[in-house]
Amino acid sequence: MSEVQRGLAGVVAGTTAISSIDEQTGTLLYRGYPAPELAASCRFEEVAYLLWHGELPDRAQLSAFEQAERSQRDLPEGLAEVVAGLPLSCHPMDVARTAASWLGASEPSPPSGPEGNQQSSLGLLAKMPTVVAMDQRRRHGLEAIAPDPGLSYSENFFHMCFGSVPGPEALRCFETSLVLYAEHGFNASTFAARVISSTLSDLYSAVTGAIGALKGPLHGGANEAVMAMFAEIGSVDRVEPWLAATLGAGRKVMGFGHRVYKHGDSRVPAMYEALAQLARHSEEGRRLMALYHRLEAAVREAKGLYPNVDYVTGPAYHLMGFDTPTFTPIFVMSRVVGWTAHVMEQLSDNALIRPLSAYTGVARREVPARSSG
Ligand code: COA
């Protein structure tokens, strides 16, 4: 039997020019730029442009890009009806996944080629926040709020969720999360998207599959699992007994560990800084930060594990007022950029992704005689 790498750990499954991890520092780089530095000095729209086109936009390019995104935020009526009609019992990630699939179905012959895929990607980016906001509001019995083309991507999302735009710290924190979430190499959902694209299926199918992969708590679903965990722990004095019981039962602590980063996730310091600024203003913020620090220290001591970015975005989104099940769909609003960049890269030099498996079942045997009737 050839050697099998469980979970493809350590396997280099292809090449990419979109992002990498700096070997010296472990920093995530987007097209060569450190992602935390981009988060400090760029808006999400600029980073989306960079990931898709390879270079940061100049002023004119950014303006044209923003105008195109802002003009496509409205949902087609049919999609708004579909979102409104989905059962409230379904998870918001199911709504996001259905919306991506619906958008593909509404274009029976989606434009193809690099130009067409670029258009479809921009449409998905522009419409996903409208879907997520509408879904969060309907769960509170509230009418949808129409997108405002006068607002940036982040500002407009808050406007559609809450009818107002928050102060600079919450906006900065949200924008930081979108930049840091936008792309991360061959993670599970991006790899799923590349596998689907490699069959020459369409971009919407790839994004629909990627949303399904992101939903799981070992991947994007961890940000909401972190909040559920904080709620379960309840208070600082319960951290150590809770952790002992969790590890004793063989359960994982959400928001810790990473397949690639074994000495800390390079996105955490920038995200932490933004969270800390936000949290200091409220009682709930201070309560959460106390839990955050105590659990971080306890997990480090017990398992030598470091937090990943979801450990930070979970409490940040909570403090911004989002419902916990909305956290992973917010991740979708950002990662859709990375997924579609990879779909386009895959198609530019495609080879069907079809690995082998090592068989572990029963050996060859005779089919027993069967009576036919
Ligand atoms: N809590 C407790 N133990 C953990 C852990 C966690 N969050 N993450 C890893 N470990 C332990 C494993 O139990 C295993 O221990 P063992 O060798 O004693 O069995 C060891 O660390 C290696 O873990 P493994 O799951 O094999 O590593 P991986 O590279 O496959 O896992 C993750 C990476 C992300 C799936 C894993 O760290 C995890 O499940 N984290 C929690 C979910 C999460 O936050 N996901 C978001 C990722 S950005």
| pLDDT tens digits for range 237-248 | 999 999 999 999
Output the CA 188–ligand 1 centroid distance in Å: 14
| pLDDT tens digits for range 271-308 | 999 999 999 999 999 999 999 999 999 999 999 999 99
Out of 3.40.50.720, 2.130.10.10, 1.10.580.10, 1.10.760.10, select the CATH number for domain 16-218+336-348. 1.10.580.10
Tell me the three state secondary structure of residue 237: helix
Output the CA 15–ligand 1 centroid distance in Å: 25
Residue 373 has a pLDDT of 61
Name the fold adopted by 222-320: Cytochrome p450-Terp; domain 2 (1.10.230)
Residue 372 has a pLDDT of 73
Catalytic-labelled residue, pool 159, 184, 219, 318:
219
Dihedral sign for Cα 25, 29, 33, 36, please. Answer: negative
Q: Whose CA is nearest to atom 39 of ligand 1?
A: 218
| pLDDT tens digits for range 52-102 | 999 999 999 999 999 999 999 999 999 999 999 999 999 999 999 999 999
Strands (E), 51-121: none
CB burial readout 201-214, b (16+ within 10 A) else e: ebbbbbbbbbbbbb
pLDDT beyond 80 at 253: yes
| pLDDT tens digits for range 215-231 | 999 999 999 999 999 99
Distance of alpha carbon 30 from alpha carbon 47, whole angstroms? 8
Pocket of ligand 1 from Cβ distances under 6 Å? 7, 218, 222, 252-259, 303, 305, 308, 310
Give the pair of three-digit tokens for residue 257.
Answer: 């560990």
Q: What is the pTM of this model?
A: 0.96
Domain-wise residue ranges, the chain: 16-218+336-348, 222-320
The proportion of the chain whose per-residue pLDDT surpasses 70, expressed as a percent, equals 99
Give the pair of three-digit tokens for residue 281.
Answer: 């203003």
Average pLDDT over residues 129-136: 98
pLDDT beyond 90 at 5: yes
Residue 1 has a pLDDT of 54
Give 299-303 contacts, CB < 8 A, sequence gap 24+: 299/243, 299/253, 299/256, 302/243, 302/244, 302/247, 303/247, 303/253, 303/256
Q: Whose CA is nearest to atom 19 of ligand 1?
A: 250
Q: Whose CA is nearest to atom 30 of ligand 1?
A: 259
Distance of alpha carbon 189 from alpha carbon 222, whole angstroms? 13
Catalytic-labelled residue, pool 135, 202, 265, 310:
310
Length of the chain: 373
